[in-house]
Structure 1
Amino acid sequence: MSVDPAWFQQQGEDASIFASVYSPFESDAPQRIAVAVSGGGDSMALLHVLAGLVRQTGQQLHAVTVDHGLRAASADEAAFVCDQCAKLGVVHETLRWERTATTGNLQDQARVARYDLMSRWAADNQISHVLLGHTATDQAETFLLRLGRASGIDGLSGMRPRWTERGVTFLRPFLSHERATLRDYLTRHEVVWIDDPSNEDIRFDRVKARQALIALAPLGISVADLNRVSQNLHAELDVILAAAQDAATQIVSLDRGDVVLDCARFAALLPALRRRLLVRSIMWVSSARYAPRARSIARVDAAITEGKSTTLGGCRITVKDNGARVSREFKAVRDETSGTREIWDGRWQLAGPHDKALEIRALGLAGLRACPDWRQSGLPRASVLCTPAVWSNDRLIAAPVVGRSNGWTAQIVADFHILPFAH
């Protein structure tokens, strides 16, 4: 699937754009890839570039649009993308966010839903990589937004060029190109796109950041400058994350969904490393997308130092015998249900004789009574209550974590890697 370097040279002004998109696949090119397309200029440029590139690599390209239903024109925009994909010979699918009553930050909830929908769709279609059209200009705007929130090094290091959700890798190949560069590409190739009217609405923080970039230009502060700052901070962050990961290998042990910290070694760490281990432990156990507040983490840190148990973010932190165990809190999973083929509680995957009549729920007290030998598992009772079980209505079918397998197995599908707080 390699591309002859001479082909890139033949692309003239577009050579660097094609090279950026091809770069993630130079050493490992999956057969099926996808591009997220909203109809805006950046994603339309990525669609057009990929359509040309896969003719050289032989990969199968799919396109996906998420219709959040937040604007009256969203359905028409999805239809526009579908039409453009058809002209390029690219298979397209629209995913719709079935939104229930929401409170809080609607834009953030829409973003979370977007990635959740896309990762599930990609996994269902055996697509391993989804490419996104974020640019260097987006990166600069993100830097300013996070600077305004007094973010630390995690936030100021910018958007990650790649990450994985539900086994699907998301890539941002345009982070080295400014939005104006892609607009020039679109104009050269007479590619049409849709301008989202909300991009001019100053009620939105990102629009204000866009205006701030213009205001900063006379001071000699450019998109490229802000990107270099993010890149420098990212390099420093990588050192911190590596140190935290090294500490985790010495201090952390995983026990069937729980995290156990060696209290003596934990206490000897620098406060910044202790904080990162606690954040990752709680986020891993709870499958939370965002780190707990620093004040809350400091409270948990103090409790562990004093040998006291506490709770945070749907987790129990229990201190006993020089170990601090971070486990799920039962009330956080009491109502959590899923089909047996789905990921349960964000990280558990079960395998066995699947049936649509079955579902996964926490073992709970009713399940515990049906497992008289649960103590042989060696897990604390509070942890056992939160383990995944297969149910048929009110009848327990299997509890694989505590030995009642009945043909079922359970495994954690989330890696315990130390990640940036802003991931």
Structure 2
Amino acid sequence: MSPAVASVRNAVRAAVDGLAPGDLVLAACSGGPDSLALAAALGFVAPRAGLRAGAVTVDHGLQPGSADRAAEVTAALRGLGLDPVRAVTVTVDGPGGPEAAARAARYTALEKAAADLGANAVLLGHTLDDQAETVLLGLARGSGPRSLAGMPARRGIFLRPLLGVRRTVTDAACAALGLSPWTDPHNSDRRFARVRVRLDALPALEDALGPGVAEALARTAGQLRDDAEVLEEIADAERVRGDSPLSAASLAALPAAVRTRVLRSAALAAGCPAGALTAAHVASIEELVTAWHGQRGVDLPGGVRAQRRSGLILFG
């Protein structure tokens, strides 16, 4: 067996370990090499683990022929033995720019498909390279400590088995299995920040610092993930505790690391796109608590506004 195929299968096997026999697991598949290798591995691993394996592909409608591409992907997924397979078309028109809007539409569609099909988990094809890019993007945008924690291996029904697998491995796995992944032209379009990080920033860092930058960024994310999750749990508990959880006085009494997370969580709950809300935004909201001098409020992404009124921090 190809070492690349074995690596992807082992990662999927570890991710689904603990699911109950008969559970349905879906692979989210765009047809690219990462998600196609993931889907193929799920098709192999699931029946041997007593699980059912299906897949979902999301047509964002952003390119000519996207519906035909979705039909080709669903055919390929059925050829891998996955059933059920569903293609979902979404409209990308949300706040936060095209990347954030597409991401939000995609996750909403995946959650709905999982609910409709009765799936217990949805596997996402993010690799170690994606993790490194996410950390670097977050740092560049000033997203604060949360950016260093990167993407979690699990959040709700979503699992990311390949966060420890390089993109070169998924490419090799597809080649070994005779699969023909689709190359999304957006992945080489430097109008997108992630593409510039992938094609320009990370290679420049490796030229300057030596090989292993991507692995180091991903390793840092993994080391800080547990700390970030504990702080977020505390912040979520504070946000819903008591009659006036967003009173300025209550917020002022919290440690800064918890307070900023409470405010960020409240902003997200009010409708701010997660990908567009930066640490600078949260710092401006925090000034309504810690440096209040009658300022009018803070305009946030997604048309949300934070204000201090009658001793409360309000989002609307």
Please tell me the TM-score bracket, short chain as reference.
0.7 to 0.9
SS of residue paired to 1:51: helix
What letter corresponds to residue 89 of structure 2 in structure 1? R
Instruction: Mark the CA change 1:24 to 1:171 in structure 2 (over 3 Å): closer, same or farther.
Output: same
| 1:393-408 equivalences in 2 (<5 Å) | none
Q: Secondary structure at the match of 1:138?
A: helix
1:34 paired residue number:
26
> Partner of 2:208 in structure 1?
219
Contact residue 33 and residue 127 of structure 1 kept, 8 A: yes
Equivalent residue in structure 2 for 1:120, among 99, 112, 120? 112
Q: Give secondary structure in 2 for the equivalent of 1:95.
A: strand
1:279 paired residue number: 264
* Pair 1:298–1:45, CA change in 2 (3 A): same
Work out which of the residue numbers 75, 80, 88 in structure 1 matches 2:80.
Answer: 88
- Unaligned residue ranges in structure 1 (runs of 5+): 1-9, 330-423
Q: 1:113 & 1:149 partners in 2: Cα distance?
A: 22
* 1:38 CA drift (Å): 0.9
How far did 1:244 drift? 5.9
User: Does the 8 A contact of 2:153 with 2:161 survive in 1?
Assistant: yes
Q: Say how many residue pairs are matched.
A: 305
Specify the code of the residue in structure 2 equivalent to 1:24. Answer: A
CA distance in 1, matches of 2:236, 2:129: 35
Match of 2:68 in 1: 76
CA distance in 1, matches of 2:190, 2:296: 46
Residue 184 of structure 2 corresponds to: 196
Deviation at 1:199, TM superposition (A): 2.2
Alignment check: 8 A CA contact 1:318 1:325 kept: yes
| Of 12, 16, 21, the match for 2:7 | 16
Contact 1:97–1:113 (CA under 8 A) maintained in structure 2: yes
- In the alignment, the residues of structure 1 paired with residue 173 and residue 89 of structure 2 have an alpha-carbon distance, to the nearest angstrom, of 30
SS of equivalent residue, structure 1 residue 260: coil
Q: What is the Cα deviation at residue 25 of structure 1?
A: 2.1
* 2-structure distance, mates of 1:181, 1:63: 21
1:205 aligns with 2:193: yes
Q: Identify the residue that residue 98 of structure 1 maps to in structure 2.
A: 91
Q: Which has the higher contact order (CA 8 A, sep 6+)?
A: 2
Q: Is the 8 A contact 1:54 1:60 kept in 2?
A: yes
Same amino acid, percent of matched pairs: 31
User: Equivalents in 1 of 2:26, 2:223: separation in Å?
Assistant: 29
| Aligned 1:11-410 pairs, distance under 5 A | 14-29=5-20, 31-91=23-83, 92-99=85-92, 105-164=97-156, 169-212=157-200, 213-222=202-211, 224-236=212-224, 238-239=226-227, 241-243=229-231, 245-246=233-234, 249=237, 252-254=239-241, 260-261=245-246, 266-284=251-269, 286-290=270-274, 291=277, 293-302=281-290, 313=304, 319=310, 324=312, 329=316
Answer whether contact 2:148 2:220 (CA < 8 A) is retained: no
Q: Which residue of 2 aligns with 1:379?
A: none
- C-alpha distance 99-298 of structure 1, shift in aligned 2 (>3 A): closer
Asked whether the equivalents of residues 132 and 217 of structure 2 are also in contact (C-alpha less than 8 Å), the reply is no
Change (3 A) 1:29 1:109: same
SS in 1 for 2:64: coil
Give the TM-score normalised by structure 2: 0.82
User: What amino acid is aligned across from residue 18 of structure 1 in structure 2?
Assistant: R
Q: CA deviation at 1:118?
A: 1.1
Question: How many angstroms apart in 2 are the aligned matches of 1:261 and 1:307?
Answer: 17
Structure 2 gaps of 5+ residues are none
Amino acid aligned to 1:22? R
1:80 Cα offset (Å): 1.2
Work out whether residues 44 and 193 of structure 1, in 8 Å CA contact, stay in contact via their aligned partners in 2.
Answer: yes
Q: Deviations over 1:126-173 (max 9, x none)?
A: 112111111111222223333332442211332222223xxxx11111
Residue aligned with 2:245, SS = strand
Q: Is the 8 A contact 2:146 2:228 kept in 1?
A: no
Contact 1:307/1:319 (8 A) holds in 2: no
Number of the residue aligned with 1:357: none
What one-letter code is carried by the residue in structure 2 that aligns with 1:216? L
Q: Which amino acid in the other structure matches residue 10 of structure 2?
A: A
Indicate if the aligned counterparts of 2:58 and 2:90 stay in contact, CA closer than 8 A.
yes
Question: Structure 2 vs 1, CA of residues 226 and 67 (structure 1 numbering), >3 Å: closer, same or farther?
Answer: same
In 2, Cα distance between equivalents of 1:128 and 1:189: 27
CA–CA distance in structure 2, aligned partners of residues 207 and 71 of structure 1: 17
Change (3 A) 1:311 1:37: same
